[in-house]
Chains A and B, each alone.
Chain A
Amino acid sequence: MIGIVFRICFLGLVDSLAFWAGSHLLVSRNWLGLVWLIAATATINFVYISKRSRASKWLLPGTLLLLIFQIYPILFTASAAFSNYSTAHFVSRDEAASNIVLQNIQQVEGSPQYSIVPLHNGNNVALLVTDPKTKKVYLGSETEFTEMDSPSAPTGWKPYTEEQFYADAVQAKLGSLLVPIPEPKGAYLKVNDFSTAFAFVSDVIYDTNSEKLIRVSDQYVFPEREGAFIDEDGTALDPGWRVSVGFKNFKSVITDPVVRGPFLRVLIWTFVYAALTVLTTFALGLTLALILNHTRVKGRKYLRSVLIIPYAVPGFLSLMIWAGLLNDDFGTINALFHSHIPWLTDPVWAKVSTLLVNLWLGFPYMFLICTGAIQSIPAELSEAAEVDGAKPRQILMKIKLPLLLVTVSPLLIGSFAYSFNNFGGIYLLTGGGPPVADSQIAGATDILISYTYKLAMEAGHGNDYGLSCAISILIFFMVAGIATLSFTRTRALENLG
C-alpha cells in the first residue's frame, strides 16, 4: 500500500517536472529536445507502472544518467572531432548568415525619425513605436512588430524612466535591439536616444529561396568554403558555422608541421611522465614496504600513519603548495638552500620538478598496496624455501617479488592510465609551462589532456573544439590499447604463477 502511494507521488513529481520542462522546450522551439524528453518520460512511466519490467526498475536511473552524461558526450566528442567546431564556427549556417547581415546595417538615407517609448517587462525590452507617416502605434520587439489599438503601454510592460534608460545594463540591451519593420523591406529600427529611433537596412541580404548570401550594392554572391562565407579577398567572414571536415583534424595532427611538432613533443612527454611516475612511486613504495615490513621494526603502525600523510592531503592542495615552494623568484626551496634553480621556469627543470612532486604525491599509495601485498603472501612459502637452503635475497627475488607483481600489476596499469590523464597533476603545478618556442599553446610539461584543455578552453587563441576532441579520441585509443595489451599480458603472468 505504501509502495503504491510512494510510486504515485514519484511519478506525479516526474511528470509535472517533465511537463514544466516541456513547456520551456516548446517556447524555445527545441523540437529534438522535446522528443527526447517525451521519450524519457514515457519510459519512466511505463517502467514504474508496468508489472513486467522488474529489472529495469532498478536500472533505469543509472541508465538514463549514463546515456545523457557518458554515452552522449562520447558520441558528441566523436562527431566534433570530425568537424570544424570552434569559436569561429560555433553557430548554425542560418545564424551565421543573419549575424553577417546584421553586421552590415547602415542607416537608411533620409530615414524619417520614429518617436519611441522604451519598455520592459522584467526580462525583455521592447519599443512602443509611432510611425511618423501614418501615426499608427506599434509594439516592436526583437521578433515582432504588431499594431496596437491604443497608444499606451500594453499590460505587463512598463516604460523606462530617462534615468533608468541611461544605466549601462539597459543601454547595452537597447543599443543592440533591432526591431524588424515591414517598410522599407528588410529594415530594422535602431534606438537613437530616449525618444527617437531610425530605420536601418543591411547592404547584405540572405535570400531564403536560393539560400545565398548576397551584397545588394554590387550583387556579389558570397561563395562558401568549409563552413564560412568568403569575400572577394578570399578571407572567411566571421562567424562561420559548423560543418563536417572529415579527417582534417586527424590529418593535421599527422601532416601539418605547426600542429604535429607540439603534438609529438606533448605525446612523448605524456608517455615519459606516466611511465616514470608509476616507476618511481612504485620503486620507492616497494622499497619502503620491504624495509619497514619487518617484525622487529617497532611502531610500524605509527610509521605508516605518518608516511601516508602526502596521500591523505587533498591532491589539489599539495600541488598548489609545491607550486609555491618551487617558485623561482621567492620560492622557499631556493631560499632555504640559497640556490637559484629555475624549478618551474626552465623546460628541463620543470619536468624534473613535475616528476619529483608526483613522486611525493604517489609513493604512499604504492607503499600501502605493496605492504598489503607482501603481508598477504603466505609465510609458509618463505619458510619452505628457507628449509631448502634459500638465502634471504633469493627468497625475495624468486618468491616474494614475483607473487607481489601478480597482485599489484593491475593496479600499476590503473595507475599508469590515471597518470596518463592526470590533468591536475600537471596543470595545478606548472600550468603546463614553461612556454616552448614551437607552440603558443603547448608548454614544456603539458600532457595530452592539459593540451586539449588549453586548445578548447583557454581564451586568447580561439577555442578549437574540433582539434581538441580529435586529440581526445586519440588519447582514448592509446589508453584503451595499452590497457587491453597489458591486461592480456598480466593474465598470462597470472597463469604462469
Chain B
Amino acid sequence: MTTETISTSKAGSPRKRKNQLQRGTVWWRYIVAAITILFAISPVVYIIIAACNPEGTLTTFNFSIHSFGLDNFRFLFGRHDLSSDVTYQAYPYMLWYRNSLMVSLLAATLQVIVATAAAYAFSRLHFKGRRLSLGALLLLQLFPSVLAFVSLFLIMQKIGAVFPFVGPGTWAGLILIYLGGSLGINTYLLKGFFDTIPRELDEAATVDGASANQIFMKIILPLAAPMLAVVMLLAFIGLMNEFLFASIFLTRSDQMTLAVGLRSLINGRYAQNWGIFSAGAILAGLPMVIMFQLLQRFIVEGLAAGSVKG
C-alpha cells in the first residue's frame, strides 16, 4: 500500500463537486460527535481535575476553586534524592523523564541511521542475494522481539556478566535491544520510500562522476529527509510507550523510564498516590499530545504506511 491511498490531504476539483452533492440533516451528526467526545476526553478531564486537587482522592470528583492547588506538581519537582530522606517518600520523577527522553531519542536516532543505510543498499545497489535478504527481512517480522523477551533477557544477562555496562539495569543494553527490534520494519518502510525517488537522478549524477557516497549524501538524503523525520518520530513515540523490556531491564528507581517509574509509583498504591500520579501523567502526556496535534498529518501518513503505535 502506498501512502497516497489514505492520505487525508484535501482533494482538488472532485471534492468541490462532491461538496454540492451532499445533502440531508446534520444535527444528529453533531450529537454523535458530542457523545463520542465525551467518551474520549472524560478520563483526560478527570485526570486534570485530580492533579489540581492536592487533597483529592480517587473518589472525589469535585472541582472548586477552594481545593485548587499545585502541590501535586510541586511534589514531582521537589526532592528526588531517595537516599537523603527515608521518611519523606519521594520519587525521582524528573530522572524518569530524562531517562525516557534520552533512551527513546538515542534509540530512535540510531535506528533511523542504521535502517537508512540498509534501505539505501536495498534500493540502489546491486548485490548477490538482494531479493533473498529482503524476503528474509520480511519473514523475520513474523517473529517480533516481544516473543523473544525471555531469550533477550537471558542473553543480556550473559553478556552483562562479562560486560556489565550493557547488562540488565543499563540503558546501553536496553537501547541495543530496541535497535534490533524494529530494524527490519523501518528498513522496509524506508526502502519503499527510496524506491519512489526517481533513479534518473542518481544515474545522471553517476554520469557526472559522483560516487555512491556522494549520491547518498547529496541526492537521496535531502529528498528523503521528511520521510526520515516521520519514521524517527513514530519510532520515538513507540519507544516512549514501551513497557515490557524497560520493566524487565530497569529495576533501580533512578534508572527507570516514565512508563516503569509511574507504574512503580501507582501499582498497589492507587489511594495514596493518585494525585501525584495524575500530575505526573499530565506532564508526561501533554508534550506527546501537543506533538501529535501539530504533526497529525505526518503521523497519519506513517500509519497508513504500516506503523502501529505502541
**Are the chains A and B members of one assembly?**
yes
Give the number of residues in A that approach B within 8 Å (Cβ atoms).
106
CB A487 to nearest CB in B, in angstroms, measures 11
Tell me, in angstroms, the Cα distance from A304 to B297 when the chains sit together: 12
A405 at the interface (CB under 8 A from B): no
**Which A311-341 residues sit within 8 Å CB-CB of chain B?**
311-318, 320-325, 327, 329-332, 335-336
Residue in contact with A372 in the complex, picked from B8, B18, B114, B148, CB distance below 8 Å = B8
> Which residues of A are found within 8 Å of B281, using beta-carbon distances?
317, 320-321
> Which residues of B are found within 8 Å of A314, using beta-carbon distances?
237, 240-241, 259, 284-285, 288
B94 at the interface (CB under 8 A from A): no
Residue in contact with B296 in the complex, picked from A308, A313, A332, A376, CB distance below 8 Å = A308
Select the residue from B4, B30, B43, B303 with max chain A CB neighbours within 10 A: B43
Taking a contact as CB atoms under 8 Å apart, the answer to whether A76 and B154 are in contact is yes
CB A251 to nearest CB in B, in angstroms, measures 20
Digit string of B36-51 for contact with A (CB within 8 Å is 1, else 0)?
Answer: 1101110110110000
Digit string of B279-291 for contact with A (CB within 8 Å is 1, else 0)?
Answer: 0010011001100
B162 at the interface (CB under 8 A from A): yes
Digit string of B140-154 for contact with A (CB within 8 Å is 1, else 0)?
Answer: 101111111111111
Majority secondary structure of chain B interface residues (helix, strand, loop or mixed): helix
Tell me, in angstroms, the Cα distance from A55 to B152 when the chains sit together: 29
> Which residues of A are found within 8 Å of B266, using beta-carbon distances?
320, 323-324
Interface footprint category on B = 35 or more
**Which B49-77 residues sit within 8 Å CB-CB of chain A?**
57-61
> Which residues of B are found within 8 Å of A194, using beta-carbon distances?
none
Tell me, in angstroms, the Cα distance from A421 to B308 when the chains sit together: 13
Taking a contact as CB atoms under 8 Å apart, the answer to whether B310 and A424 are in contact is yes
B171 at the interface (CB under 8 A from A): no
CB A126 to nearest CB in B, in angstroms, measures 21
Residue in contact with A469 in the complex, picked from B117, B151, B180, CB distance below 8 Å = B151
Tell me, in angstroms, the Cα distance from A307 to B29 when the chains sit together: 14
Tell me, in angstroms, the Cα distance from A54 to B121 when the chains sit together: 9
A375 at the interface (CB under 8 A from B): yes
> Which residues of B are found within 8 Å of A39, using beta-carbon distances?
none
B163 at the interface (CB under 8 A from A): yes
Binds A, one of B9-17, B83-91, B222-230: B9-17
Taking a contact as CB atoms under 8 Å apart, the answer to whether A307 and B150 are in contact is no
Asked whether A309 and B289 contact (CB < 8 A) given A65-B114, A472-B147, the answer is yes
9 closest A-B pairs by CB: A69-B180, A312-B292, A372-B6, A58-B121, A55-B127, A73-B148, A76-B151, A335-B59, A62-B118
25 contacts between A and B (CB under 8 A): A54-B212, A55-B127, A58-B117, A58-B120, A58-B125, A62-B117, A65-B176, A74-B143, A77-B150, A288-B33, A291-B32, A294-B24, A295-B19, A297-B29, A315-B310, A324-B266, A327-B58, A360-B43, A369-B6, A369-B300, A373-B6, A411-B304, A423-B243, A476-B143, A476-B147
